[in-house]
Amino acid sequence: MEKFQDLDIYIEKYGQKLIDFLPSLIGAILMLLIGLWLIKLINRFVKKFFDKTEYDPTLENFIASLIRWGLKIVLFVLVVTQLGVESASLVAIIGAAGLAIGLALQGSLSNFAGGVLILLLKPFRVGDFISAQGVEGTVKEISIFNTKVNTVGNQLAILPNGKLSNDNIINFTGEEIRRENLSFGIGYDDDIKQAKDILLNLISEQETVLKIEGKMPMVAVAELGDSSVNLTVRYWAKNEDFWNLRWFILEEGKARLEAAGISIPFPQRDVHHYNLEKLKK
């Protein structure tokens, strides 16, 4: 009999609490369902927005994921708060957990932040030829934590985004055109004007050399070296023509100078031999 009385007391005590808690539970469930529906709707809107614009695919995926998880965290806090948990305590717990994770993953978070900066500021894109961290090559992939670069020798270099975003980066293909400075050395006894005319005619004949105002090809004396007069050949070209043009002008320039009897000297040194016996006398 006493057991049934105790059971009635428990049912009455906790049943009333359950009834009082039921509206909060129902409200939390409804909030969760509506929140998930809204998050899905916002994600669709974000996807449509990116489809209409020309953003980097990696940046699109990153921003979409960031928005999705950010909204889910906010929804989680709202639902738990609806169930009666104090939001201040919950935020404090999340903050402490975030701090602990941040200290444990300092290097990864640095790379993460660097990846965000690279994706937002876009110092280079996939397909650009860059020089950074002692590596030169074509950018193959930009991810959140690292950047993959194919070197000239077809080696895959993986550069951490943390260091990459804080270091000097040379983007050779960041602009549509670029200038080349080639150097040709001739002998001191050779005719400088003749050599300049030969080289200037050579670059003027090339259709892929740009001839626009302010960027006309030129040949000038750059230096009076130890064993040669060094001429600099400057011209502008599109990125897709740059390397083939460079290799051709180097080869053809040497051939034309030699055909005209102009020497291309190499470093040399004068050695004076003295007869010690005569010096002693």
Q: Left (φ > 0), alpha (ψ -120 to 50) or beta: where does 211 sit?
A: beta
Question: b or e along 194-225 (b: 16 or more beta carbons within 10 Å of the residue's beta carbon)?
Answer: ebbebbbebbeebeebbeeeeeebebeebeee
Residue with tokens 């300049």: 196
Any residues with CB less than 8 A from the CB of 278 and at least 6 apart, and which? Answer: none
What gap in Å lies between CA 59 and CA 66, rounded to an integer? 10
Check residue 12 and give its pLDDT.
60
pLDDT of residue 101: 53
Residue type, 94: I
3-state secondary structure 143-156: CCCEEEEEECCCCE
With 0-12 / 13-18 / 19 or more C-beta atoms within 10 angstroms meaning exposed / middle / buried, residue 237 is buried
Q: What is the pLDDT of residue 184?
A: 93
Residue 186's closest CA among 273, 263, 78?
263
Instruction: Show the CA angle centred on residue 242, arms to residues 256 and 169, nearest 5°.
Output: 135
Q: Are 235 and 179 in contact (CB under 8 A)?
A: yes
Specify whether the CB–CB gap between 186 and 197 falls below 8 A.
Answer: no
Is 178 within 8 Å of 224 (Cβ atoms)? no
Domains annotated for the chain, with CATH where assigned, are 2-104 (1.10.287.1260), 123-171 (2.30.30.60), 177-259 (3.30.70.100)
Going from the first residue of the chain to its last (281 residues), give the mean pLDDT of each consecutive group of 10, the final group possibly shorter.
Answer: 54 62 75 85 81 68 74 80 67 62 56 79 86 88 85 88 85 88 91 93 92 89 89 92 92 92 75 66 59
**CB 241, CB 203: distance < 8 Å:** no
